[in-house]
Amino acid sequence: MKARGAALLQRSADVRWDDDMHPAYERILEEIAPDEARILKYLALNGAQPTVDVRTTRPFGVGSELVAERLSMIGEEAGCRHLDRTNAYLNNLFRLGLLWFSKEKVEPSRYQVVEVQPVVTDAMKRAGRSPSTVHRSVHLTPFGVDFCKTCLPLDSPGYGGPIVL
């Protein structure tokens, strides 16, 4: 392993060495599903997307329980074929360092569409008398933005406009 590390350091000192893309990109392309590529493209072209957590409500806000998390319309909006796998897709993209689950919110009106989806209304029913929603978002990391710019045909016909940062 030290020999490999030494070789990396030697290449980094060589001004003629051309490393036009991150070496992990090839491996990442082998580790993502086609639907995950759709999600990446969607996030690259449309920016951060709203997600909702549904919680029970307790007096004084103490002891609330999480009923459902990261509910969104990302799978539907991205055109995923396997909508039931959306959370698994998002978790894999997070594992690869391409996206981030953020506590930051997007435009408040964007949550209204998510909150009326059947998966959210079902979770609200399971939460009991006074459920609450927590607004969050999902967005690409800088590594994810670079991956999308390098590996996905975002400017080809049918792929929309430029990357939104």
Each residue's pLDDT tens digit, 69-91? 999 999 999 999 999 999 999 99
Rounded to the nearest 5 percent, the helix, strand and coil shares of the chain are: 50, 15, 35
Q: List the beta strands (DSSP E) in the chain.
A: 49-55, 66-71, 99-102, 132-140
What domains can be seen in the chain, in order of their start residue?
Answer: 23-150 (3.30.110.190)
Tokens of 129: 């008398």
Q: What is the pLDDT of residue 17?
A: 61
Tokens of 18: 């051309």
**Measured distance CA(99)–CA(92) in Å, rounded:** 9
Segment 53-57 mean pLDDT: 93
Residue 158 pLDDT grade (very low, low, confident, very high; cuts 50, 70, 90) = low
